[in-house]
Amino acid sequence: MSHPCHRAKVGLGILRQTGHELLNGSLVLPILGEGGEVLGAYGRKITPTHQLRAGTPLHLYLPGPHRGVFNVEALVSSKEVILCEALIDALTFWCAGFRNVTASYGVEGFTADHLDAFKRHGTERVLP
């Protein structure tokens, strides 16, 4: 019988049944729900691009539909939010002191979860 943590990783799509880790070689950021539950994860490859196989994506998400809003605390604490394309970009803003930042899941990755959270928390201005 497998360990509960192992089963959870397989269930989320982080670990395949074969034991291969989907986000291996990546900086990984969790995407949490408002209750703190893990809804997904984002991975940014940190291996130098010349060492990756041709066609290897640099930005990775878990399989399935994108759920949740990265750094939903920004929507709770501010009526103005910076919306980035990728989570790594949002993290860069956050590290520079701009805590009112979130991200979509790529160019066409703005989801119903984002819109719902913006409305629910009274977001008045979105800075692209």
**Residues in Cβ contact with 128 at an 8 Å cutoff, skipping those fewer than 6 apart:** 83
- What digits encode the pLDDT tens for the residues 70-121? 999 999 999 999 999 999 999 999 999 999 999 999 999 999 999 999 999 9
Contact (Cβ atoms closer than 8 angstroms) between residue 70 and residue 31: yes
Cα diameter, the chain: 50
d(CA 75, CA 85): 17
> What is the pTM assigned to this prediction?
0.84
- What digits encode the pLDDT tens for the residues 34-43? 898 889 899 9
Q: What is the DSSP letter of 51?
A: G
Neighbour-count burial of 110, counting CB atoms closer than 10 A to its CB (0-12 exposed, 13-18 middle, 19+ buried): middle
